Structure 1
Amino acid sequence: MSDIKTNRSKVRTRGKRAGLDLHQIVEAARSLDANMLSMQSLADFLNVDRKALNYHVKDRQTLLNLVAKDMFSCRFSSNGIAKSKNWQDACRLYAMDLVDGLTALDGLAEHFNESLASWGLEPTEALFGWLGKAGFKDDVAVRLVAMLVTLCMGFARDAIQVKNSADRPRPRTLRAALANVDVSKFENLARIADLEVDTYNRKQMEFNLEIFLLGANAILQPEV
């Protein structure tokens, strides 16, 4: 952060005179622990009066939203999507970039705006462009994108849950449930529990995405 100086020996400055802009504030906030981030802790870090921050950001919630949006936007753009070979590749890239953007947020994921109204205009515009070229009607394209975003958000939530842990809740809870019953009555579940398939890794997301694409293609090319 070459443009951010935090010389605590200097007198704190206020309002416009602090020389801050929104970019500097967000950049500084990203360097701090999100769980400990507050308007006051950021003001202390920047060595400015808290009112200097309030001139740009009204409260902690707004600050967290701005930090989350900035982190997310670094990984979710329209560049690759616009250059995709076809609508399927556009969907794949959109989905994986969305997942990467969400998982990068970690604890800030709760501040993600589900509608993508302001967080992903360009990539979403590019995706709808590909779906339109492929022949999907607008109402169908809307439902497909809503489904795709739901798939991505669900997977990202799971991935964040296990990101810093070796624990996999689904197989663990299944094994715990089977430990208290007669497993002979649940031979299918017992067999599945022994497999310990990891449904939290990238391979699972790729599987989800290919099923989505198969379904979408079936809509595009219905059987005669």
Structure 2
Amino acid sequence: MDPATLTMQAVAERLGVDRKALNYHVSDRDGLLELVALNVLHSEVAETEPPLDADWRDAVRHFARTMRAAMVRTGALFEYVRVPVGGLSSLAPAERLAETLMAAGFDDQDVARALGFIAEFVFSSARDAIMIDRHGVHPQVTEIQKALDAAPAEDYRTMRRLMLNQFQPGDAQLEFDLRIFIAGMDHLLSTKI
């Protein structure tokens, strides 16, 4: 069913139950959509397995790329995905990554913060990819371009040049985020040794 037009009554009818029975499990449409989004995301995340004996850097890349891809595949349901995502199936890949990071020499505090940092930029990257898919361009890019168009031509030359180079969040931005994150973690690890 299309998430945009989904109603509690339509779901109850599709299931062949009284709406009150559905209300026993979820209180409203948003709660229902959150459960559906969570189910879709869990099924996508369950398919992610890092390479065996991967270096921590490769494990981070694999985790971030596959989590983002799973989030993007939720499509219209993504706005109902909550971070941190609940459920044990979504925790399994994070558990494996945490174990890999600890085996590399990071302590509990570093690993906890690293997982939070990765979750933030992956979630943001997935949200941006879905907005670009929905609108053809990221809405912030459109607003920046409008503001630049209204400014005198001699102002904001660097920003204008960046906009001409198709500044867009996406796969390239995720890869940049990963390079920066891994470089920072490498530095952090080198100071521990």
TM-score (norm 1): 0.75
Q: Which residue of 2 aligns with 1:26?
A: none
In the TM superposition, what are the counterparts of 1:40-55 in structure 2 within 5 Å? 40-54=9-23
Runs of at least 4 residues of structure 1 off by over 4 A?
Answer: 54-59
Q: Partner letter of residue 75 of structure 1? A: E
Structure 1 residue runs without a partner (length 5+): 1-31
What secondary structure is seen at the aligned counterpart in 2 of 1:151?
helix
Distance 1:130 1:221 in 2: 17
1:141 pairs with one of 91, 97, 111:
111
- Does the 8 A contact of 1:78 with 1:123 survive in 2? no
More helix by share: 2
Length-normalised TM-score, structure 2: 0.86
Q: What's the CA shift for 1:133?
A: 0.4
Would the aligned equivalents of 2:72 and 2:130 in 1 still touch at CA under 8 Å? yes
- 1:61-84 per-residue CA deviation (whole Å, 9 max, x = no partner) reads 432222111110122137512635
One-letter amino acid of the counterpart of residue 135, structure 1: G
Query: Where do 1:83-122 residues align within 5 Å?
Result: 83=52, 85-118=54-87, 120-122=90-92
**1:153 and 2:129 aligned:** no
Q: What are structure 2's unaligned runs of at least 5 residues?
A: none
After the TM superposition, which residues 50-65 of structure 1 pair with which residues of structure 2 at under 5 Å, given as runs? Answer: 50-54=19-23, 56-65=25-34
Give the root-mean-square deviation of aligned CA atoms: 2.4
Superposed, which structure 2 residues align to 1:19-38 within 5 Å? 32-38=1-7
Instruction: Determine which of 74, 81, 84 is the counterpart of 2:50.
Output: 81
Correspondence 1:209 to 2:178 = yes
Give deviations 1:169-201, integer Å, cap 9, x for gaps.
34433332222222323222222222223x233
The match for 1:193 among 151, 163, 169 is 163
The structure whose Rg is larger is 1
Of structures 1 and 2, the one with the larger relative CO (CA 8 A, separation 6+) is 2
